[in-house]
Amino acid sequence: MTNPLHVLVTGATGRTGSIVVQKLRQRPEQFVAKGFARSEAKTKELFGSTEGFYLGDISDPGRLNAALEGGDALVILTSAVPQMKAPPEPGQRPEFFYPEGGTPEQVDYQGQINQIEAARAAGVKHIVLVGSMGGTNEQHPLNRMANGNILIWKRKAEAYLIDSGLDYTIIRAGGLQDQPGGQRELLVGKDDQLLANPPNGIPTSIPRADVAKVVVQALLEPAARNKAFDVISKPEGTPGAVVTTDFQGLFEQTTPGL
Ligand code: NAP
């Protein structure tokens, strides 16, 4: 019996982060899971109480230091969240903005650097960072959303993590879906090649629950260490698809470096 891994999940009240916390808590022999979240009310709403949670903002290094003390691994699932301006007039496109303190530069870049540095100071050995596909294309429409350049800042933070010298696993998801996990074949790639040439033209998407499963497996499998990769799923029921259960095999297809 090895000791359970002490893992802190940030963005723990987010749509993927909350699933990661749930999945880690289902394996108490392998993990002691803590969450980091900025909203007490949302934490209580999702988890019933704030037990096992650190309340704070990732712009506050002091809170991060306290939360990471004694930790073995950090899962970064924070992300800037665009807000819609007033509902659009019929026929008009919605317009978005990032709230003050919540721009991609502040959250997806500086906020991630704060987390990486706090992890380093606490002696954390491994960081799993969930990012997004599309980052090789500076003209990607998501970068134009509220002029936030979100994918550009995410990619800069990924480069910072790789250069930090800490063990990393960078999981760049395709379009996220609120669908059940564990029912699809997962496909990994690099440099947005799956976006440019999806096999058989499949949608380049993946359920959040499957991303959460990849996170959990990345914490356990040595083959996920020091790797960065894109991940999508074959649609459920695709003829010939084999539901992914061999995560070591999946991670062995991935490579180090940005
Ligand atoms: P999400 O629900 O938007 O969660 C983001 C989390 O970050 C929220 O829990 C939010 O807190 C937290 N957060 C933001 N600013 C913070 C701050 N200053 N301090 C502390 N926490 C802060 O995320 P998701 O949709 O599951 O996405 C997970 C990741 O996948 C993100 O990096 C996203 O960009 C990426 N991704 C998304 C898509 C897509 O299709 N949407 C596709 C590929 C990749 P609150 O809960 O309090 O708001």
134 lines ligand 1 (CB under 6 A): no
Q: What is the mean pLDDT of residues 91-120?
A: 96
**Side chain identity, residue 44:** K
Residue 1 has pLDDT above 70, yes or no: no
Q: If DSSP codes are grouped into helix, strand and coil, which group holds residue 73?
A: strand
16 lines ligand 1 (CB under 6 A): yes
What letter does residue 182 receive in the DSSP assignment? S
Catalytic residues: 132
Rounded CA separation 167/120 (Å): 10
132 lines ligand 1 (CB under 6 A): yes
Average pLDDT, the chain: 97
Does the pTM of the predicted model rise above 0.85? yes
Which of 23, 38, 45 to probe ligand 1 with, by most ligand atoms within 8 A of CB? 38
Q: What is the mean pLDDT of residues 149-162?
A: 98
Q: What is the mean pLDDT of residues 161-190?
A: 98
pLDDT at 43: 98
pLDDT class for 251, splitting at 50, 70, 90? Answer: very high
Higher per-residue pLDDT: 1 or 129: 129
Give me the architecture of the 5-252 domain, per CATH.
3-Layer(aba) Sandwich (3.40)
Residue 107 CA, ligand 1 centroid: distance in Å: 10
The bridge status of strand 5-10 relative to strand 31-37 is: parallel
Residue 4 has pLDDT above 90, yes or no: yes
Q: What is the mean pLDDT of residues 47-54?
A: 98
